């Protein structure tokens, strides 16, 4: 694979980690962020002190001060912005995108107002986009350090996923391909809801048994919604399903789990989000998934209870009581309903 020129839109932890990984692999990176002060800091320090301190930028990682400059002459444009801001980021980039460019999105979420996945937004704006989603169990802190990580590149056009596989692959980053973009996107988005719940459980001191049950039943309801929306069931047993769920529910790198722990310890959800200090995607995705499940008629009891908790309609102990007291049933009877 020849070295590529890649624009990275979004200088948060994940965008920076991928920029470092890709530039270390020999690709030329133009990194841009909407926050000019942040760009000044990145330029001066040659590291992302805010989100990935101590990891110096390779020489092939350059800072751009406009989207136009970042995208000029690039082969790939990688969007790494919070899911709720993807639409506006794409709007800002569209004037500078060329038909031959591959668009890669690494955001994990569902847009609140429209209830759309990120690919649906992209194809609404650019029906002929060459679009790939990259997802999987991948904390930015570890990718930035070059620790072994495995992700998935998914696209409706498998050749595009294979191109991104070749570009992203390195000695420390392994990439699989998948043609089930719906399942990959939903797995990456919805696991953040379950991670919030896992954090709440930890914060309340409920132990490993409770968290294991929460994760297992969580992937069941994620798959249930996925099947209803056209996803492949096998995707949810892979890296972007159970794999991402495991890492997000068990690691202190997970801002969703950390936020849940604070809520479980008694902090108000709004205060917990503020204390985490970065975007907690699960707080937004819970709202969207709750509405989407109601819209398509899918039962998601864990999501419903977390929705009630983060909106302060019930406290966490009431949510646990509600989940534990649900009508008894066979373990697998409701997966396809």
CATH at residue 150: 3.40.50.720
153 and 203 in one domain? no
Q: What per-residue confidence (pLDDT) applies to 278?
A: 84
Q: Which long-range contacts (CB under 8 A, 24 or more apart) does 288-292 make?
A: 288/109, 288/110, 288/111, 288/112, 288/115, 289/110, 289/189, 289/190, 289/193, 289/225, 291/115, 292/110, 292/115, 292/225
- Tell me, yes or no, whether 121 and 186 share the same domain: no
Asked whether residue 71 falls in the same domain as residue 215, the answer is no
Q: How many domains does the chain have?
A: 2
Domain assignment present for residue 330? The answer is: no
User: At residue 258, does pLDDT exceed 60?
Assistant: yes
Average pLDDT of the residues in 191-197: 95
Is residue 61 domain-shared with residue 86, that is, in the same domain? yes
In tens, the pLDDT along 299-330 reads: 999 999 999 999 999 998 898 888 888 888 88
**Has residue 318 been placed in a domain?**
yes
What pLDDT, in 10s, does the model give residues 228-252?
Answer: 999 999 999 999 999 999 999 999 9
Q: Is this prediction's pTM over 0.85?
A: yes
Q: Based on the domain organization, do 25 and 150 belong to the same domain?
A: yes
DSSP codes joined into one string, 110-150? B-TTT--BHHHHHHHH-TT-EEEEEESS--HHHHHTT--EE
Distances 292 to 102, 111, 119, 222, 307 between C-alpha atoms, Å:
29, 11, 16, 12, 12
319 Cβ neighbours under 8 A, 6+ residues apart: 200, 305, 306, 308, 309
Please confirm, yes or no, whether 4 is among the known catalytic residues: no
pLDDT at 327: 80
Question: 308 and 261 share a domain?
Answer: yes
pLDDT of residue 330: 81
* Chain segment 93-126, per-residue pLDDT in tens: 999 999 999 999 999 999 999 999 999 999 999 9
Indicate the pLDDT class of residue 145, thresholds 50, 70 and 90: very high
| 113 φ/ψ angles, rounded to the nearest 5 degrees | -70, -45
β-strand pairing of 149-154 with 52-56: unpaired
- Residue 298's contacts (CB-CB under 8 Å, 6 or more residues apart) are 221, 224, 225, 228
Record the tokens describing residue 68, joined without a space.
């136009």
Domain span holding position 222: 182-324
166 and 280 housed in the same domain: no
189 and 86 in a single domain? The answer is no
Are 295 and 172 in the same domain?
A: no
Boundary-marking domain end, from 137, 158, 179: 179
Which pLDDT tens digit goes with each residue over 42-68?
999 999 999 999 999 999 999 999 999
Same domain, 170 and 186: no
Instruction: Quickly state the pLDDT bin for 196 (edges 50, 70, 90).
Output: very high
**Which listed residue (98, 191, 313, 337) is catalytic?**
191
Write down the pLDDT at residue 2: 82
Residues 128 and 257 in one domain: no
């Amino acid at each position: 694979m020849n070295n590529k020129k890649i624009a990275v839109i979004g200088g948060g932890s994940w965008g920076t980690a991928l920029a470092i990984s890709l530039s270390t692999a020999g690709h030329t990176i133009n990194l841009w962020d909407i926050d000019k002060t942040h760009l000044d800091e990145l330029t001066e320090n040659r590291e992302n002190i805010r989100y990935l301190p101590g990891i110096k930028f390779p020489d092939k990682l350059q800072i751009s001060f406009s989207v136009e400059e970042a995208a000029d002459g690039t082969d790939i444009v990688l969007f790494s912005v919070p899911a709720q801001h993807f639409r506006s980021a794409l709007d800002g980039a569209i004037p500078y995108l060329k038909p031959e460019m591959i668009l890669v999105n690494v955001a994990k979420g569902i847009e609140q107002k429209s209830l759309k996945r990120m690919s649906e937004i992209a194809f609404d704006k650019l029906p002929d986009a060459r679009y790939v989603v990259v997802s999987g169990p991948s904390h930015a802190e570890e990718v930035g350090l070059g620790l072994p990580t495995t992700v998935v590149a998914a696209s409706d056009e498998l050749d595009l996923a294979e191109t991104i596989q070749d570009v992203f692959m390195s000695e420390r980053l392994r990439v699989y391909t998948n043609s089930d973009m719906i399942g990959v996107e939903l797995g990456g988005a919805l696991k953040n809801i379950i991670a919030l719940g896992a954090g709440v459980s930890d914060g309340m001191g409920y132990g490993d048994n409770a968290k294991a049950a929460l994760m297992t039943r969580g992937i069941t309801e994620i798959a249930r919604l996925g099947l209803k929306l056209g996803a492949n069931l096998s995707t949810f047993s892979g890296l972007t399903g159970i794999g991402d769920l495991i890492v997000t529910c068990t690691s202190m790198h997970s801002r969703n789990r950390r936020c849940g722990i604070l809520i479980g310890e008694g902090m108000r959800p709004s205060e917990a989000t503020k204390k985490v200090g970065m975007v907690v995607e699960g707080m937004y995705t819970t709202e969207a998934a709750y509405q989407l499940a109601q819209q398509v008629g899918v039962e998601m009891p864990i999501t419903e209870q977390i929705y009630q908790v983060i909106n302060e309609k019930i406290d966490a102990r009431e949510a646990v009581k509600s989940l534990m007291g649900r009508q008894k049933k066979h373990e697998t009877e409701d997966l396809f309903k």
